[in-house]
Amino acid sequence: MRLLLDTHIWLWSLLQPEKLSEHVAAELESAENELWLSPISIWELLILVEKGRVVLDRPAATWIAEVQKAVPIREAPLVKEVAILSRSIDLPHQDPADRFIAATAVVYGLTLVTSDDQILSSKMVSFLPNK
């Protein structure tokens, strides 16, 4: 399976793995699955660090670079198709990060791993819910 990690799932997998369901944790560990990340998740992390909602033990840019070396994860580039779909995807809110991440899953044919009930309401996205 090709799994796109929502920002919170990515962070939980690294900082608070106890928040992942057993099923999601197993899928993230499976060598049969590809893990993907949107650059929007990195942007969201930087904002969370700036606001003090996430505390890292080193500068964010250093932490991100080290995590990317340690954990095999593919980047899902932010392309024009993602930007266009982000405006019409069937989400009940206008949160730009959620819209970009959900649209990324659709454009790249990825399964989105998330706990976010609002994103899970989309009929356009394939999901692996963390429940």
- The CATH number covering residue 39 comes to 3.40.50.1010
113 band by pLDDT with thresholds 50, 70 and 90: very high
pLDDT tens digits, one per residue of 16-52: 999 999 999 999 999 999 999 999 999 999 999 999 9
Q: Supply the range of the domain harboring residue 7.
A: 2-129
Q: What domain count does the chain have?
A: 1
Residue indicated by tokens 């799994």 = 3
- How many angstroms separate the CA atoms of 118 and 104, rounded? 16
pLDDT tens digits, one per residue of 62-110: 999 999 999 889 999 999 999 999 999 999 999 999 999 999 999 999 9
Q: Which two tokens stand for residue 52?
A: 């003090």
Between the alpha carbon of residue 28 and those of residues 1, 34, 51, 99, 118, the distances in Å are 10, 8, 28, 23, 22
Instruction: State the pTM of this model.
Output: 0.96
Q: What average pLDDT score do residues 3-7 get?
A: 98
Instruction: Give the alpha-carbon dihedral of 72, 74, 75, 76, to 10 degrees.
Output: -150
